[in-house]
Structure 1
Amino acid sequence: MTEMAKGGNLPVPSAALHVAVAWQQGPGTPDVDVSALLLDAAGAVRSDADLVFYNQREHHSKSVRHLGKGQDPGPSGTDWIWLDLNAVEPEVERVVVAASADDTEFGRIPGLAVHVATPEGAPVASFAIGDASTETAFVFGEFYRRNGTWKFRAVGQGYASGLAGLAKDFGISVEDSAPVAPAPFAGAWAGPGGPDELTVDFPPYVHQGRAKQRVTCPPNLPAGRRVVVDIECRDSISVTVYSCDAYGRSDELLLDSYEDEVHGRTLATVPDDRPLALLVEADSPWTLRVLPLGQARRLDLTVHGAGPDLLVYEGGPGVLSFAHQGESNFTVWHTYRSADPDWPGDDQDLLVNEVGRLDVLAPVRGPGLLRIGADGPWQISVGG
C-alpha cells in the first residue's frame, strides 16, 4: 500500500474504489461518520444533493454511495464510501472525503486514517492522521481531476467550528442538510420493538457471495427485532433476496431488482427462535449487509434515492409527495403499529403502486417505515 504524507498526491484508477475512514475503538470513543462532497470548479457543491452521508446515502449520479459501518476484526472501526470515478459527472472536479464524530474533538480519537482500495481489496492509498487536536469536523482527503485523470490528495484539514464551518466552506445549507445525528423519536413508534427499536445496536454482519446462496446470520442479531438488509451487486440480470423459513426454504420476497447496478435496502425481522436466514439470487458477485434499524435513512423533509430502499418516517398523519424517474414498477409500502389492541403485528398501507415516471401524492397515517421498490431515481417529500 502507498503510505502518504500530508499534502501528498498520487494517481488512482478511474474506476470503482472503496474508501474507508478508520479509527481505534475503545471505551468512550465515539463512532466516526464519513461523508463525501461533490464539488464543482468553484470548490462548492451545486446543491445540497451533492452531499452523501448516512442520511442521504446515494448520489443521484450513482457515482458515490455511503456503505455504512464495517465489521472489522479487532478494535478498529471503519465507515465506508463507495466511489465510481468513471461515473462522476463532468461538472464535478473534486470529491472530498470528510467526517464528524458527535462534536467530539478528533484529537481524542486514536488511530485516525483513510484507506483507499479496489472492491477486490487491492490497496491503492493510505493516509494516517497524526496531528488532530481540537477539530470537530475533518477533511481526510480528496479525489480531483488532473489532465483527464484522477488523483488522490492527502488533506488532513480540521475545523474547530465543526460541521457548520465545513459546510460553510463548501456551500452546504447547514439548516437543511448538514449530517447531524437523528433527533430522538417523539411519536408512537411503529412496530413490535417499541420506541427503542431504533436504538438497538449490534455489529453489522457482512457476507460476500456469488449466484444463488443461502446465508445464515450469526446468532447475536437481536431476536424478534427488525433489521436493515442491504445488498450490493453489479452486472447481474436480476437480484432477489428472500427470507427463509425454519427449514431453509425461501419464504417472503424482501427485495427484487433488475438494474445492472444494484445497491438496495429492505426490511427483515429476526426470528425469535432461530438465526435470521436469507436467500440471495444473482448472476454475479454480491455483498450482503445486515444492519441495525437505526441505520435506515430518516424522511424529514426530502429524500432522494435510486432503487429499493427503506426509510424511517417519524412524523404524524399527513401527505407525502412521490416522484419516480424509472420505467418499471414503483411501490411504497407504509408499515405502522396496528391500532387494534388484539392484533400484535403491524398494519400496512400500499401508498403507491404505479409503473413508469410519476409525480403523485398519497396520505400517510403516521410514523412508521417506508419500504420502496423502484428501478430508477426517485424523490419522496413531506407535504404536498
Structure 2
Amino acid sequence: MTHLPKGADIPVPVRALQVAVAWRTGPGVPDVDISALLLDAGGRVRGDADLVFYNHGKHASGAVRHLGRSAPGAPGSPAADWLWLDLGRVEPTVERVVIAASADGGVFGQVPDLDIRVTDTAGAPAAYFAIGDATTETAFLFGEFLRRDGGWSFRAVGQGYVSGLAGLATDFGIVAEAPPEPVPGPGYVPPPPPGPGHAPPPPGPGYAQPLTSPISPVAPVTPVESYPPAPTHAAPAPPTPPSALADPFSVSFRPSVHQGRGKETVHCDPAIPPGWALLEIESSHSISTTIESCDEHGRAADFLLTAYEDDVRARTVAVVPRGRPLTLRVEADTPWNLRVLPLTHARRFDSHIEGVAHDLVVYDGPPAVLDFVHHGRCDFTVHQHTPPAEPAYDAEDQELLVKEVGEVRVSAPVSGPGLLRISGDGPWKCSVRR
C-alpha cells in the first residue's frame, strides 16, 4: 500500500473504491464516524445533501454511500468506519470529495493507530495516510479526492478541527442554524434579566452553532456499549407489551461491515436488536456466493442467499435471534464484503419497482396483486416475509409467492405489508395491481 506523507497526492483508479478511517479500540478510546463532503469548483457544498454520513447514508447521485462500522472486537483490536465511493459516478459539477471524521465522546488525541486507507472493492490498496499528530481535535479532515486531467487523485490533508463535525461542515457551506427555543411548560417562571455587567460572554474561537438540518450529527438511535449510559435519576419506564413493540420495518442500529475470503463464520454485533436485518454482499469472479444463518452452536442452518453471477451485488434478509448475536456463514471463492444494515436501508415501493438479480424490498401497502417480469435464464423466486403477530414469542412467516424459470411474466397475490425477497439472474420489474 502506498504510504503518503502529509500534503502528498497520488492518482487513484476511476472506479468503485472503499475508503476506511481506521483506529485501534481500547478503554477510553472514542468511536470514530467517517463522512464525505462533495464540493463544487468554489470549494463549497451545493446543499446539505452533499454531506454523507451515518445519518444521511447515501448521496442522491449514487456515487457515495456510508457502509458502516466494522463489527466491534475485543479491546485493542482494529476498528474502521467505511465509505463506498464510485468516482466514475461523481457528478461533473463536483470537483472534490473530502473525507472527514468526527470523534464520538472524546478527542482524536485519544485515538491510537489512526489512519485512512483507500482500496478497490477487491481489497487491492490504492492509498494510505497515517495521522500521528492529533491532540484536542474533535473532527479531522483526513484527505480529499481531486479531479486531475480527466482523472482523479487522492491527497493526504490531515487538518484538525476543535469544533467537531458542525464546525468542519460549516467551513464547506453547510448552513448551521440555532435550535428553536424550548416551549415553556405549565408553571414556568422566567428567570430575572441579567443585571449590569452580567451579559453573557460572546462565543469563543472555533464556536459553531449546532446543526439542525437533516444532516445534524446526532448520535444513532440505538445505543451501544461504548456510549454514555442513560441518566439513572428518572423513574424506569414500564415494560412494553409484546403487541406494542417497535415497527419491525423501522428498527435502527449501527451498520457494520465484514470482509473475508473463502468460507468464514461472521459473528455480528451483539447490540443488533432481535428482528430483521438487511444483508448486503458484494463479490466478483466467484463460482458461487452463499450466505447461511447459523444456530446457537454455530452450525449452518438455513440458506439466506445463493448467487451464481460473476459480479454479485445482492441483498437478502436475516432474522436476528433473541438472546444471542446473529451468526452467519459466508462463502465465496474470491474476497467478499458483507454489510449488516437496518431495514431502513432497504428499498420501498407501493406501485412499481425494478431491480437486477437478488434484492430485498419493503412492501408496506394493503393486500394487492403483484405483476412480475423477469428477464433471465435460471430460477426466479419471490418470497414474502411477514412480521409475527407477537414479536416476543412468534417467528416470522414466510410464503413462496413465485417460483419460475427463465423469461417470466407472472402475477401473485400479496396479503399486506411485508418483505419481498426477490431472487433471479437478470433484470426484473414489479408493479402493484389493487
Q: Does structure 1 conserve the Cα–Cα contact (< 8 Å) formed by 2:221 and 2:252?
A: no
Q: SS where residue 354 of structure 2 aligns? A: coil
User: Which piece of structure 1 moves more, 102-111 or 230-239?
Assistant: 230-239
- State the partner residue of 2:280: 230
In the alignment, residue 2 of structure 2 is paired with which amino acid? T
Say whether the 8 Å CA contact 1:36–1:98 is kept in structure 2: yes
Q: Take 2:308 and 2:49, find their aligned partners in 1: how far apart are those partners?
A: 24
In structure 1, runs of 5+ residues without a counterpart are 300-304, 311-319, 351-362, 377-384
Match of 1:138 in 2: 140
For residue 319 of structure 2, what is the aligned residue in structure 1?
268
The yes-or-no answer on 1:31 pairing with 2:31 is yes
**Percent of pairs identical after alignment?**
43
1:172·1:178 contact (CA, 8 Å) conserved in 2? no
Q: Tell me what 1:151 maps to.
A: 153
Instruction: Note if 1:82 corresponds to 2:128.
Output: no
Question: CA offset at residue 27 of structure 1?
Answer: 0.1
**Cα RMSD after superposing both structures:** 4.9
Q: How does 1:118-197 map to 2 (within 5 A)?
A: 118-173=120-175, 174=211, 175-183=213-221, 189-190=245-246
Q: Alpha-carbon deviation of 1:236? A: 8.8
Partner Cα distance (2:306, 2:245) in 1: 24
Residue 32 of structure 1: how far off its partner (Å): 0.5
Alignment partners' CA distance in 2, 1:150 and 1:27: 39
- Is 1:16 the equivalent of 2:16? yes
The SS at the match of 1:86 is helix
2:410 is matched with: none
Segments of 5+ residues of structure 2 without an aligned counterpart are 176-210, 224-236, 365-384, 400-415, 428-434
Q: Distance in 1 between matches of 2:170 and 2:91?
A: 23
User: Could you tell me the TM-score, scaled by structure 1's length?
Assistant: 0.65
User: Retained in 1: the 8 A contact 2:68–2:255?
Assistant: no
Matched residue, 2:376: none
Distance across 1 between alignment mates of 2:272 and 2:105: 33
Structure 1 residues 26 and 85, CA gap change in structure 2 (3 angstroms) = same
Superposed displacement of residue 108, structure 1: 2.4
Q: Are 1:326 and 2:379 counterparts?
A: no
Q: Is the 8 A contact 2:281 2:338 kept in 1?
A: yes
Name the CA distance, whole Å, in 2 between partners of 1:279 and 1:75.
22
- The whole-number CA distance in structure 2 between the counterparts of 1:247 and 1:218 is 9
SS of residue in 2 equivalent to 1:2: coil
Q: State the Cα distance separating 1:119 from its structure 2 match.
A: 3.1
**1:191/1:346 contact within 8 Å kept:** no
In the alignment, which residue of structure 2 is the partner of 1:61?
61
Counterpart Cα distance in 2 of 1:331 and 1:101: 34
Partner residue, 1:289: 338
Contact kept? 2:349, 2:363, Cα under 8 Å: no
Displacement of 1:288 after TM fit? 4.6
Classify 1:172/1:263 alpha carbon distance in 2 versus 1 (closer, same or farther; 3 Å). farther
Counterpart-to-counterpart distance in 1, 2:138 and 2:419? 33
Amino acid at match of 1:167: A
Distance 1:248 1:90, change over 3 A: same
Distance in 1 (CA, whole Å) between partners of 2:120 and 2:52 is: 20
Aligned 8 A contact 1:324 1:330 in 2: no
Shift of residue 36, structure 1, vs aligned partner: 1.4
Structure 1 CA distance, aligned partners of 2:354 and 2:308? Answer: 12
- Equivalent position SS for 2:83: strand
Q: Is the 8 A contact 1:37 1:45 kept in 2?
A: yes
Shift of 1:97: 0.6
CA distance in 1, matches of 2:123, 2:302: 34
2:36·2:97 contact (CA, 8 Å) conserved in 1?
A: yes
Cα deviation code 1:183-235 (max 9, x no counterpart): 4699854389xxxx967x998654334xxx7x644599689944553312458
Q: Tell me whether 1:207 sits opposite 2:260 in the alignment.
A: yes
Residues 1:286 and 1:56: Cα distance change in structure 2 (over 3 Å): farther
> Secondary structure of 1:165's match?
helix
Cα distance, 1:64 vs structure 2: 2.2
Distance 2:353 2:37 in 1: 24
Aligned residue pairs, count: 331
Report if the CA contact (8 A) 2:69-2:255 is conserved: no
Structure with more relative contact order (C-alpha pairs < 8 Å, separation 6 or more)? 1
The amino acid across from 1:289 in the alignment is: L
Give the Cα separation in 2 of the matches to 1:83 and 1:271: 35
Show CA shifts across 1:90-122 (max 9, x none): 222111111112252222222221122333333
Rounded Cα–Cα distance in structure 1 between residues aligned with 2:3 and 2:162:
26
Q: Distance in 2 between matches of 1:8 and 1:224?
A: 43
Stretch of structure 1 that moved more, 98-107 or 216-225: 216-225
User: Partner of 1:177: helix, strand, or coil?
Assistant: coil
